Amino acid sequence: MQTLLNTTTKNQTITAVIDDLKQLTKFGLSISVVFSAIAGYLLAADTIRIATLLLLAIGGYFMVGASNVFNQIIEKDTDKLMKRTKNRPLPAGRMSVNTALAIGIVCALLGIVILYIINPKTAMFGAISIVLYVSVYTPLKPVTPFAVFMGALPGAIPFMLGWVAATGKFAIEPGILFLIQFFWQFPHFWAIAWLQYDQYKKAGFNLLPTREKNKKASTQILLYTIWMILVSIFPVTKLTGSLYLSPIAAIIIFIVGLVMLYYGFELHKKQTDKIARKLMLASVLYITSIQVIYVVDKFLH
């Protein structure tokens, strides 16, 4: 009986540690980053190499995981103040800063080394994303809404990172992929900032473009959504090198974009958290859908 209890306790401990690691590296966000990178790779690769795909997935996870660990170390005190973050390992006291720091350093080193095995440029962009996220975006968050712009830079790297992993070079094609994810960041994150306005304010963050939930802020959301849609369908013009989008795929992407734009207009009109949540969910649907559409379109043509 005692052996059974010990085994149960041990299993519960292991499960708790794994859960803390998932929270520390933001498992869901990291997986979405890996998905974007894989989509970019599939778009660029003439021959799909499973080994490279695995290295990109693992290295990409470590890369974004490291950024999230360092971010949570810096923000451990403000995380205590917000309902959605107070139960993370650091603010809840389940993990020490030194332990988290060691995990972050190991993740960063592994991520860069693994991406370097693919090619040096992939590792370089991976390193840039960590530096920008941790050294620029995170310190700016309590200071200015401009932090969202700086955060959009590393946030836009994953989609194009896959292309660079496949080709070893940066050109107009990964540049367009970067711009798609760059412009997408603004309506997506501002919808979250709208939803979490009171919690963010409590923690000393004010990340809406006008610092208030108002029509000027929702106008900015609309403008960036329009730019996002235009950049997303631009490859249909055949002016983006080997990155091409068929007219049918462009129409589908445009329609999916209109869903986001609709909720953007609804938010502008009604100014409610309920609509902001719908916009946020629509933005997640958008970025996932267009990456799938781009890849499927490539293999159908």
- % the chain with pLDDT above 70: 96
Domain boundary among 140, 169, 198: 169
Residue 12 has pLDDT above 80, yes or no: no
- The model's pTM is 0.92
Shared domain check, 131 and 4? yes
Average pLDDT, the chain: 93
Residues 26 and 161 in one domain: yes
pLDDT given for residue 1 in this prediction: 55
Could you read off the pLDDT of 118-171 as tens digits, one per residue?
999 999 999 999 999 999 999 999 999 999 999 999 999 999 999 999 999 999
Query: Do 23 and 158 belong together in one domain?
Result: yes
Task: Report residue 38 as tokens.
Answer: 């894989």
State the CATH number of the domain containing residue 163: 1.10.357.140
pLDDT (0 to 100) of residue 7 = 58
Helices 27-44 and 157-167: crossing angle in degrees, nearest 10, is 40
Check pLDDT > 70 for residue 47.
yes
Residue-wise DSSP of 92-157: TTSS-HHHHHHHHHHHHHHHHHHHHHH-HHHHHHHHHHHHIIIIIIHHHTTT-TTHHHHHHHHHTH
Among 169, 193, 223, where does a domain finish?
169
pLDDT of residue 8: 58
Residues 178 and 121 in one domain: no
Write out the two tokens for 23.
């929270």
The parent domain of residue 139 ranges over 1-169
| Percent of the chain whose pLDDT exceeds 90 | 85
- The size of the chain, in residues, is 301
Regarding whether 136 and 22 lie in a shared domain, the answer is yes
Residues 12 and 152 occupy one common structural domain: yes
Q: Is the pLDDT of residue 40 over 90?
A: yes
